Amino acid sequence: MGAIRNWSKEILLFLMALLFLSPIYIIFVNSFKTRQELYENTLALPEQFGLQFYSAAMEQMDFFNAFINSMYVTIVSVAFIVVLSSMTAWMLARSGNWISNVIFMTMIATMLIPFQTIMMPLMQLVTGITQDTGIPLYNTLSGLIFMNIGFHAALSVFLYHGFIKSIPLSLEEAATIDGASKFGVFWRIIFPMLTPITATVAILNVILIWNDFLLPSLTLIDKDLRTIPLSVFYFFGEFTIEWNLAMAGLTLTIIPVVIFYMLAQKYIIKGIGEGAVK
């Protein structure tokens, strides 16, 4: 009796999770259907798994180019964020003077500022810098990376700072006495100890930057600079919606996320948990 009840609970939980993800199933199966099939029954499996809508969607979205742009922006931004914010957080946490505290508190306070509050003045500033000094911040991928570093600095420094505070100082002092430079101490002793929080910082930033739409939409103008969210947006905007094409396009954008999730599932859930709790 108890076994049967447990089994039915197991099945019920699984079905509930499946129902929860049903919109993704719907998008997936309909990405193979012809228009007529689609209107006959949205929920049924397709008659054949042809890829013709995928190749059309890929072409219209310029998918490969957008994918490369997204990869480039995400990886380079996250690498800079990890290096710069861990170094900064270590100095702020260990120097213990009032300047460090003021800087740290200011950074935390800015986490309350919504993007919409600074987007217009930021765009004014960035276009101004580009025009007056020739430093190409506006309408370049490097400029977007530069802005990503600035926007995600506060959260990342905050996470590193909390973690560094929990490492006993004696570990560092032992290394410093040996006469290593600050740089050596940091990269050889400290940074390896920060690995768990580095994973968290990297994962949170990958998710935020990969999915970001508003900032890239303001700063990237050229068509061939588009990231994935931008190309999806213009794909839906430029054509009157042909749903089977659109669904192939949406499936394409979900695939990299699913692969990333399958590869790093454990770290992602742990990272999200820690990032949120702190």
Partner 1 sequence: MANRKKIGWYLLFTVPLLIIFTIIVVIPFVIGIYYAFFDWDGIGANPMVFTGLENFRILLEDERFLSSTWLTVLFTVLSVVSVNIAGLAFALLVTSKLKMANLARTMLFMPYLIGGLILGYIWQFVFLDVFTLIGEVTGLESVFFNWLNNEQFALFALVFVFTWQMAGYVMIVYIAGIQGIPGELIEAAKIDGAGSWQRFLRITVPLLMPAFTISLFLTLSYGFKIYDVNLSLTGGGPANATELFAMNIYNEIFGYGNYGYGQAKAIVFFIIIAAITLTQVYLTKKREVEM
- The footprint of partner 1 on residues 59-78 (CB under 8 A) is none
Q: Which of 18, 45, 174, 259 contacts partner 1 by CB under 8 A?
A: 18
Give the interface segment with partner 1, choosing from 14-22, 61-69, 163-171, 194-202 (CB under 8 A).
14-22
Residue 220, interface with partner 1 (CB under 8 A)? no
Q: Which of 23, 96, 168, 192 contacts partner 1 by CB under 8 A?
A: 23
Q: Which of 90, 138, 158, 163 contacts partner 1 by CB under 8 A?
A: 90
Alpha helices, H only, the chain? 2-20, 22-30, 35-40, 52-61, 63-95, 98-110, 115-133, 141-165, 169-177, 182-184, 191-193, 195-211, 214-219, 228-238, 243-277
Task: Provide the 10 A C-beta neighbour count for residue 67.
Answer: 19
- The footprint of partner 1 on residues 110-129 (CB under 8 A) is 110, 112-122, 124-125
Closest CB 114 distance from partner 1, rounded Å: 5
- The footprint of partner 1 on residues 136-165 (CB under 8 A) is 146-147, 149-151, 153-154, 157
Angstrom distance (rounded) from CA 89 to CA 152: 13
Residue 191, interface with partner 1 (CB under 8 A)? no
Burial classification of residue 273, based on how many CB atoms lie within 10 Å of its CB (0-12 exposed, 13-18 middle, 19 or more buried): exposed
Q: Which helix (H) or strand (E) holds 241?
A: none
Instruction: Tell me which residue of 237, 179, 235, 233 sits closest to 211, measured CA to CA.
Output: 233
Q: Residues 6 or more apart from 133 whose CB is under 8 A from it?
A: none
Which CB atom, from 72 or from 233, has the smaller least distance to partner 1? 233
- The footprint of partner 1 on residues 232-261 (CB under 8 A) is 232-233, 236, 243, 246-247, 250, 253-254, 257-258, 260-261
Residue 16, interface with partner 1 (CB under 8 A)? yes
